[in-house]
Amino acid sequence: MNTYVNMLRLLAMVLIIGVILSGCRAPVSLNNCEDFHVIQRPILFDSTRARLSLEYMKTHYGIDQKQPTITPRMVIVHWTDIPTFEGTFNTFNPVYLPGARAKISSASRLNVSSQYVIDRDGTVYQLLPDTIFARHVIGLNHTAIGIENIGGKHMPLTKKQLQSNACLIQDLHRKYPIDYVLGHHEYTRFIGHPLWLERDPNYLTEKIDPGEKFMRYLNYVLRPLHLKDLPESKQKVHPTINEIPKS
Ligand SMILES: [Zn+2]
């Protein structure tokens, strides 16, 4: 009898361990978004930031609006190259771009930012409302929601970040007519596309974030959304321009 009970206990233990392990290996999927939620951590968006945003839209895109709002049609995925959420928040919060970023500050003194930041553990923070202008990509800020991920070249993005990106993009896709999801390193493929509005052909920077591997995984998970393929690049980035910081 004891042997029988012990065998049952052993079997139960094996089953429990199996369930735990299979949970750890659960594939990233749009079906795993029941617990998805967003933490609000708004950055400063005062009248000065609004004015600088409106100036940017007018100068770079020829868009003349009363409010610095955007019409979301795409999501651009980034990595921060800053190792913590707090460090990223403190970088995006000031209204003005720091003087050190001379190359992009000549285009505008508006600081860079992003609507969302996803931490290493998958925590999603919202820094700006979805339809408020953020400077995170050349040519497309008037239509692109930005998602920054805490990580970088030597700090690969995590599986939890991949899952949170997928859930967040699914959520945004339900709210707005999102056609495209792209990595920042792919942004120049829109040069010549109707959504590309940058007026200065020399204002281009070369980007490597978040890399092809992460976008390949993300696009695979996002297949059920039936997003559009990215346009073919019509113009190469000028070879002399090789600025690494994010824009
Ligand atoms: Zn970027």
- Centre of ligand 1 to C-alpha 42, Å, is 19
Gap from CA of 147 to ligand 1 centroid (Å) = 9
Q: What is the distance in A from the centroid of ligand 1 to the CA of 80?
A: 7
Going from the Cα of 84 to the center of ligand 1, the distance in angstroms, rounded, reads: 15
Peptide bond into 224 cis (omega under 30): no
For residue 55, which of 43, 65, 45, 42 has the smallest C-alpha distance? 65
Q: Which domains does the chain have, with CATH numbers?
A: 37-225 (3.40.80.10)
Average pLDDT across each block of 10 residues of the chain; the chain has 247 residues. List them in order: 66 54 72 97 97 97 97 98 98 90 76 98 98 98 98 97 98 98 97 96 94 97 98 63 45
Name the residues around ion ligand 1, CB cutoff 5 A: 78, 184, 209, 246
Q: How many residues does the chain have?
A: 247
Residue 231 near residue 189, CB atoms below 8 Å = yes
CA of 4 to the centre of ligand 1 (A): 60
Of 194, 185, 184, which is closest to residue 231 (Cα–Cα)?
A: 194
Centre of ligand 1 from the C-alpha of residue 26, in Å: 28
pLDDT tens column, 44-77: 999 999 999 999 999 999 999 999 999 999 999 9
Buried b (16+ CB within 10 A) or exposed e, 172-185: bbeebebbbbbbbb
218: CB partners within 8 A, 6+ apart: 77, 162, 165, 166, 169, 181
pLDDT for 26 equals: 79
Calpha distance 115→89 (Å, rounded)? 11
**Ligand 1 centre and the CA of 136: distance in Å?**
7
**Residues whose CB falls within 8 Å of the CB of residue 96, separated by 6 or more in sequence, listed in order:** 52, 109, 110, 111
